[in-house]
């Protein structure tokens, strides 16, 4: 069972309303593999999907080099009431153009469109959330247990949308730093299922559902190396 002392807060990733910064000059998303050369691996039915090698190793290296030049903010050690403890360095930007590139220039769009059970996405898929987040976890840093909240957003073309799945793209591998999910037992009489662990692998993508279907999960402590993550969300019409 997951440690009882950990927080089970929801995480709402609505961007701050302060003056909008200028988006960075993101590197090209090339080279990438075609969707025909990739596939969703169903780590947990209807909950956790993994795409190995969504981004190539060289592309990930280029992005880590670029992202290292950005001004990252270290999250406060003491969270606000109701929030999960998060220790990492992060960068956040509202960038519809890059979200569109991430959707169309990689295999994400085609993989989502070709998935057999379209209902799993929670509605008509519009694209990716313009709220782009970059996370860097160094040794000793982690993200405590929490749920990812669904947020109302404006999707591509100004269409009203909502987020239904988190998209995490791992740009590096490290020791530790697994994303751990805690499925619930079917009933109180049943044994608590074992946690489901997803290791950060260079270029792999992880998709998992948002609240209320979201599983309790956490980013485990990084023990050695650095874990760099590119984050967005799947957006559907509302």
What's the predicted TM-score (pTM) here? 0.90
Does a structural domain hold residue 189? yes
| Residue 83 domain flag | yes
Q: pLDDT 10s digit of each residue in the chain, 238 long? A: 444 444 456 666 655 545 678 999 999 999 999 999 999 999 999 999 999 999 999 999 999 999 999 999 998 766 666 678 899 999 999 999 999 999 999 999 999 999 999 999 999 999 999 999 999 999 999 999 999 999 999 998 899 999 999 999 999 999 999 999 999 988 888 888 999 999 999 999 999 999 999 999 999 999 999 999 999 999 999 9
Is residue 58 one of the residues assigned to a domain? Answer: yes
3 falls within a domain: no
Q: Is the dihedral of CA 111, 45, 179, 94 positive or negative?
A: positive
Torsion sign, CA atoms 15, 98, 120, 214: negative
* 7 inside domain: no
CATH of the domain at 186: 2.60.120.620
Q: Which domain holds residue 209?
A: 38-237
> Which residue is it, tokens 């079917």?
186
- Does residue 24 lie within any of the structural domains? no
Q: Is residue 230 part of a domain?
A: yes
CA distances from 60 to 12, 29, 172, 178, 204 (A): 27, 9, 7, 18, 10
Question: Is 2 buried (19+), middle (13-18) or exposed (0-12) by CB count in 10 A?
Answer: middle
C-alpha 44: how far from its chain's center?
Answer: 16
Q: Return d(Cα 112, Cα 117) in angstroms, integer.
A: 10
The answer to whether residue 120 sits within a structural domain is yes
Domain count along the chain: 1
């Amino acid at each position: 069972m997951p440690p009882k002392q950990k927080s089970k807060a929801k995480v709402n990733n609505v961007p701050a309303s302060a003056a909008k910064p200028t988006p960075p000059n993101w590197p090209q998303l090339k080279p990438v593999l075609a969707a025909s050369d990739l596939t969703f691996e169903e780590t947990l039915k209807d909950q956790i999907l993994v795409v190995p090698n969504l981004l190539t190793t060289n592309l990930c290296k280029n992005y880590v080099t670029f992202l290292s030049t950005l001004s990252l903010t270290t999250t406060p050690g003491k969270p606000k009431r109701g929030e999960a403890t998060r220790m990492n360095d992060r960068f956040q930007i509202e960038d519809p153009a890059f979200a569109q590139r991430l959707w169309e220039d990689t295999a994400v769009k085609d993989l989502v469109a070709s998935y057999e059970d379209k209902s799993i996405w929670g509605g008509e898929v519009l694209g990716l959330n313009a709220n782009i987040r970059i996370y860097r976890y160094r040794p000793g840093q982690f993200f405590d247990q929490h749920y990812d909240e669904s947020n109302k957003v404006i999707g591509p073309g100004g269409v009203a949308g909502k987020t239904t799945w988190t998209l995490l793209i791992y740009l590096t591998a490290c020791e530790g730093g697994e994303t751990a999910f805690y499925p619930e037992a079917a009933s109180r009489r049943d044994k608590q299922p074992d946690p489901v662990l997803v290791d950060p692998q260079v270029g792999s993508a992880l998709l998992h559902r948002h609240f209320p279907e979201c599983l309790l999960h956490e980013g485990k402590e990084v023990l050695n190396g650095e874990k760099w993550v590119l984050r967005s969300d799947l957006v559907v019409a509302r």
